[in-house]
A and B are shown apart, each in its own frame.
Chain A
Amino acid sequence: MTKKSRLGALDPRPKLMLMASASTACILANDLIYIASVLCMLIATLLIGGMDVRLVLRRAKAIFVLIAMLFVIQTFFSGLPYPGGLLLAAMLSLRLLVVVLAGLILMEGEVRDYLLALVQMKMPYTLAFMVVVGLHFLPILREEAVNIYCCMQLRGKDFKNMKLTEKVRAYTGICLPILVGALRRADEMSVAMETRGFRSRPSRTYMRQLKMRGADIALTILWPAILVVLYEVECVF
């Protein structure tokens, strides 16, 4: 077990609220200063929350690079006169950054906690369960793809010395068994779950109940409140 950061120890609901409100606000807003201030607040929250900055940079490196590239492209190819293109590009990039960073907040926490949170927020269990199981299975699919890739090579397929078209065909060949395997497993899993009583009753019990504490409630209310106040302040000026 890794040590839990402050954010990690929070109830999942404030984090869901934070993510939803910050992303929504920045997607709706059309104002550079507003988006920039939300971004600053978000970064402050992440730092105070004890998020490992280096880990974040490593995990989301590709996305940050992509955002930087989009910024450059939009600056030069927006077709607007000088400051216009730059401002537009800055706004779009910052907006994307907010969405990504807000999403990263969710990584400070365990998947099963989000499942419980979704259920306690009255999302139907079956739906919440499927979302969470889906997320859990993604890395497994990756592992299976790597396994097949190794098997193919051990049977003599040399992926290194291959023409591009051949390469594309070979990689598509990896997808077939993965797809068949995933479909079959989903099928078998659903039967196995029903034989163990999943959905046999309209309601079910849970081993744990999530409880909102002071900090959780404060964060849940504070973030949307600040977003609204900020917006009003911007409007006045």
Chain B
Amino acid sequence: MALTARALSYAYHKGGALAVDDFSADFAQGKITAVMGPNGCGKTTLSKLLVGILKPLCGEVTLNGMALPGLTLAETGRRIGLVMQQPGRQLFTTSVTEEIAFGLNCLALGQEETDGRVAKYLAYFGLQKYADRFPFELSIGEQQRLVIASVIAMQPAYLILDEPTSALDRGRKDDLRTLLRSLSADEDVGVLLISHDERFVSCCADSVIAMEKGRIL
């Protein structure tokens, strides 16, 4: 079972430079794969192609053998969780609790299950004392933890995290690493970790893909 990219290419402007260029890789379930590379090499673009926010110029993405274009974003989101790069641009509810519950309600989980998961992830990410706060009032690191919590709470089979540690302190990074390791080992989640944080990657990822100018090095 894997999330597979086959010969993906993408350009933001017709005839312009390719942001992702002939990219092929398998992201297996139960494994943590890191993607590293310099600024502007196309990591964020790749993540958006993998969930179908952007449509590739050529090539295709398959999820467990099924082509992605057949799915709506909502259906993809249940299988692949995406934590985007800028925490402040992914929050859209009026309280921290609601933010985590949003996806769970969309999955139509029962009240008990929803409350249980909300409490669990609030606690894990140290957000209990902000439970009723307006997400936009949190610090950037707190927002980042909230976004990660909201996506992971949906328990998708794959997780794509775009620079999830950019605003986290060392203790929070350790927490995230422990969580990702246990998700991949115990729940068979496939994790794609986009990061510049070499220390984090080296103690977290099973394998590393190096990217440059949209290609695999």
Complex interface: chain A residues within 8 A of B82 (CB) = 154
How many interface residues does chain A have, given as a range?
Answer: 20 to 34
B106:A155 contact, CB within 8 angstroms: yes
How far in angstroms is the closest Cβ of chain A from B94?
Answer: 7
B136:A180 contact, CB within 8 angstroms: yes
How many interface residues does chain B have, given as a range?
Answer: 20 to 34
How far in angstroms is the closest Cβ of chain B from A170?
Answer: 10
B88:A181 contact, CB within 8 angstroms: yes
Stretch at the interface among A59-67, A145-153, A208-216: A145-153
B136:A154 contact, CB within 8 angstroms: no
Q: Roughly how many angstroms separate A174 CA and B89 CA in the complex, as a whole number?
A: 11
Complex interface: chain A residues within 8 A of B102 (CB) = 152, 155-157
A160 at the interface (CB under 8 A from B): yes
How far in angstroms is the closest Cβ of chain B from A178?
Answer: 9
Q: Which of A29-64 contact B (CB under 8 A)?
A: none
How far in angstroms is the closest Cβ of chain B from A174?
Answer: 7
B42 at the interface (CB under 8 A from A): no
Q: Roughly how many angstroms separate A201 CA and B92 CA in the complex, as a whole number?
A: 40
Q: Roughly how many angstroms separate A155 CA and B82 CA in the complex, as a whole number?
A: 9
Known: A150-B53, A154-B77. Contact between A177 and B106, CB under 8 A? no
A154:B51 contact, CB within 8 angstroms: yes
B90:A160 contact, CB within 8 angstroms: no
Q: Roughly how many angstroms separate A150 CA and B84 CA in the complex, as a whole number?
A: 11
Known: A150-B53, A180-B136. Contact between A158 and B74, CB under 8 A? yes
Residues of A at the B interface (CB closer than 8 Å) are: 144, 147-148, 150-160, 173-174, 176-177, 180-181, 184
